[in-house]
Amino acid sequence: MLANHKPNELFKGQDVVVEELKIISSTGIDFDLRGMYESLNVFDHLFSPFLIGELLIRDGMNFVQHFPVIGQEKVQITFFTPGLGKNKLAFEVSGISERVYDPTGKQQIYTLYLSSPERMNNMTTRVSKAYEGTISDMVSKIYEEYILDDDYPSEFLAETTLHTHKFVIPNKKPIDAIKWLAHRATSQKNPEQANFLFYQTLDGFRFLSPSTLMNAREVQEYRYDPPRSAYNSAGQRDVVRELQNIKSHSVEDSNDRVEQMKRGMFASKLITHDLVTQQWNEHTYTYADKFDSIPHIEQHPLTSRVQTTMNTKDDSVFRFYPKHKGSQNEIDNNDRAEEWVLQRKSLLQQLAGMTLSLELPGDSSRRVGDIVSVKLPTAEPKHDEMKWEDQYLSGKYMISAIKHTVTKDEYTMKAELIRDSVSKPYPDVKTQML
């Protein structure tokens, strides 16, 4: 971004303001890195519990000697798209790359690897404690007691879960304890939602079911048209339109049906055996039967509704789960395996049922979990101009991962988008065009 830009003026789609970029030693000495950095990468992921970052430095003053980087440093970062929300982030230096010298020998280039303070807290503690209550309450307590960083407190939002439980966490890392609990969590809003995730966004931590996020409104539309001009019909630069432009895109290989069958996406069977009462029960799960009872990003399943062995034969995945009725006297059926074992496997597989990778202009308000609309052109050589969109690839998606890249000149994003459904139903064998 040009130096004479005002902080709230967006002149082009990739403008950025780096308001703060400083490193703080363990003794409290700080140094402004804005004159030395080449690029900043921040990674957040729906399926990863912590933020990480990379800071590329071009050092012409032998900074690492005068300010030794030994892995006990803090890095504070504030950047934003002009006119949009600020991202205020705190990291700890977790490592430094090999130092490479330029041909003159007067400059060295290296990367500082960054981790959120909460990640470092997780590495240095364990949970050995009994908890009773809802799983969402247990996760909140573990976060507050073991993960929360007092120097840089982060926002934490948790969706209320169903049922009261009593669990003993046996000497686990806090994040491992939370993941174990997340596997067993079902939503109070919809007991069929058994896909809870614990993750960190640029705003803070979340313990949510992606099925709940699917009900949110769309926050942005992205188009590859291909790519549209940054100027409107009057010859003026349209920065709002520019923020919507897809620079490039690719469709990931998301239709490995064999692998999805192996992981229980379409059909599976669970046998529960109570070791106390010696009773056993059989439970089955099929994608076709459950699809309409669970929220989805779009309206139609990832396959046609034609019944095949793929989505009806539950013996494709068989699981056995032992139970202990009365092991917690006050709480009957403490684990409720039949409510989460099969459902969770299927729902998580569905989330990655269709995946896009997009290169986009930077937008400091975008977050993982956001619902966005994507319009992609058909690959047909000839088509009606009114129907230029790809019927199956276009539609609503959820952002599952973002790589934010900030340089001195621009801000770009590489985003991974996923969805568990399509906007137009796939044809059955009777209507399939030959």
The answer to whether the CB of 297 falls within 8 A of the CB of 419 is: yes
Coil, strand, or helix at residue 201?
A: coil
Task: Report the pLDDT value the prediction gives residue 429, as an integer from 0 to 100.
Answer: 56
Using CA atoms, how far apart are residues 429 and 434, in angstroms rounded to an integer? 10
Domain range 125-211, CATH architecture: 3-Layer(bab) Sandwich (3.55)
Q: Could you state, in order of their start, the residue ranges of all structural domains in the chain?
A: 17-120, 125-211, 257-351
From the list 299, 399, 316, the residue with the least C-alpha distance to 355 is: 399
pLDDT for res 434? 45
Query: In this predicted structure, what is the pLDDT of residue 278?
Result: 81
CA distance 102 to 57: 13
Handedness of CA 143, 144, 145, 147 (dihedral sign): positive
Low-confidence ranges of the chain (pLDDT < 70): 1-9, 11, 226-233, 235, 254, 309, 311-312, 314, 324-333, 382-386, 428-434
pLDDT digits (tens, 9 = 90+) for 63-112: 988 888 888 899 999 999 998 889 999 999 999 999 998 888 789 999 99
Q: Render pLDDT for 142-191 as a digit per residue (tens, 0 to 9).
A: 999 999 999 999 999 999 999 999 999 999 999 999 999 999 999 999 99
Distance (Å) of CA 143 to CA 19, 87, 200? 30, 22, 12
> Which class in CATH covers the domain with range 17-120?
mainly beta
